Amino acid sequence: MAWRSLHLFRDLYRSRDAFPKPFLQSPIATLLHPALSSALLQRRSHADAAPPPSAVQNPKASNASGDENKSPPFRSSLNEAEVAKFAAIAETWWDFEGPFKPLHLMNPTRVSFIRSTLCRHFKKDPYCARPFQGLQIIDVGCGGGILSEPLARMGATVTGIDAVEKNIKIARIHAASDPVTSSIEYCCTTAEELVKVNKKFDAVIALEVIEHVADPLEFCKSLAALTAPAGATVISTINRSVRSYATAIIAAEYLLNWLPKGTHQWSRFLTSEELVLILQRASISVQEMAGFVYNPLTGEWSLSDDTSVNFIAFGTKGSECDS
């Protein structure tokens, strides 16, 4: 056991960028190992002193006229480092025992929330086999399509977009094996690019994406712009809390090895209050929110009032809003 702890501390020490200052200064870090907390904080301080890298911009969104005083209405929120991170494990999307196993386990609960909220909003029968018939839905950051496919099976006309080309290729191959899901339109693009061509959808869904973008507000503005008047937006993410650090990073990445180390950065997480305010600024009004709770005894997820770790928000765009 002692040797395992030493190996764990060694791995944690090498992962300076995954540890935000608030955690390193917290009692939890000290309890883990006082020397570990001090050493990581020192290394993190040196890293923070270095000049930050320039913001990642979408080349297609650059100003061709050369006028630096003019900026496009929707700046790119693409984070190239995050894109590369997920491209490296793209082949494992449909491996139920691979890095995306937590998402596969959580997916039925995510779908349940989406089905319930969208059916209420669009006055659909939640008990029929295809309640989303007639709805145009976009899955932003679709990955390998593990959410897009259930949406298509519920009758929606689905568009799945992702910035990782490998993800799109894998999603297309997997969807082609079923006549129902083969109708999904997958595109390697970003929300900002679709805004430029004035695309609109009844429902815009972005699950476990916002914590990986460079600018959450710009990302949400793009989601709002893609949402048709009186449409709906659904976002899920991880709360920035002590519990989320202990479970989503320390436990999931370092102890249980559910996810590759460095998958998440705690400092990029948003609290539920912050997400509500960001969506308000993007003309989306949050109507309902729920947390996801994992039961280690059953290995299943369920909806809960506890939003301190994983949570999902349903919002609407008023017909008067023009994003």
- What distance, in Å, lies between the first and last C-alpha atoms of the chain? 56
- Predicted confidence at residue 7, as pLDDT, reads 43
Phi first, then psi, for residue 16 (nearest 5°) are -60, -35
Q: Are 284 and 204 in contact (CB under 8 A)?
A: no
Task: Evaluate if pTM is beyond 0.75.
Answer: no
User: Of 129, 132, 112, which Cα lies nearest the Cα of 121?
Assistant: 132
For 285, phi then psi, to 5°, come to -100, 115
Of 79-88, 183-192, 241-250, give the lowest mean pLDDT range.
79-88
Contact 244, 263 (CB under 8 A): no
Element (H, E) at 206: strand 201-207
Task: Tell me the β-bridge partners of 160.
Answer: 139, 186
Helix axis angle for 165-175 and 80-87, nearest 10°, is 40
Element (H, E) at 318: none
What distances in angstroms separate CA 258 from CA 96, 209, 212, 250, one per listed residue?
11, 18, 18, 11
More confident residue, 301 or 64: 301
Q: In whole angstroms, what is the distance from residue 242 CA to residue 244 CA?
A: 5
Question: What SS3 class is residue 237?
Answer: strand
Helical residues (DSSP H) of 187-301, grouped into ranges: 191-196, 216-226, 242-244, 272-281
pLDDT tens digits, one per residue of 274-320: 999 999 999 999 999 999 998 888 889 999 999 999 999 999 997 54
Q: Give the residue numbers of the binding site for Mg(2+).
A: 208, 211-212
Instruction: List helix spans (H) across 176-289.
Output: 191-196, 216-226, 242-244, 272-281
**pLDDT of 168 strictly over 60:** yes
Point out the annotated binding site: 110, 141, 162, 207-208, 211-212
pLDDT at 220 over 90: yes
Based on C-alpha coordinates, what's the Rg of the chain? 20
What are the residue ranges of helices labelled H in 50-184? 80-87, 101-121, 148-153, 165-175
Share of the chain above pLDDT 70, in %: 70
pLDDT at residue number 266: 76
| DSSP secondary structure code for residue 239 in this structure | -
Read off the pLDDT band of 57 (50, 70, 90). very low
- Answer whether residue 23 shows pLDDT above 70: no
- Exposure string of 168-205, with b = 16+ CB inside 10 Å and e = fewer, is bebbbebbeeeeebeebebeebbbbbbbbeebebbbbb
**Cβ–Cβ contacts within 10 Å for residue 219, how many?**
29
Q: Which parts are annotated binding residues for S-adenosyl-L-methionine?
A: 110, 141, 162, 207
CB contact burial 68-103 (16+ within 10 A = b; e otherwise): eeeeeebbbbbbeebbeebeebbebbeeeeebbebb
Output the six-digit token pair for 254. Answer: 């370092």
The tens digit of pLDDT for each residue in 134-163 reads: 999 999 999 999 999 999 999 999 999 999
- The two tokens of residue 197 are 């061509």
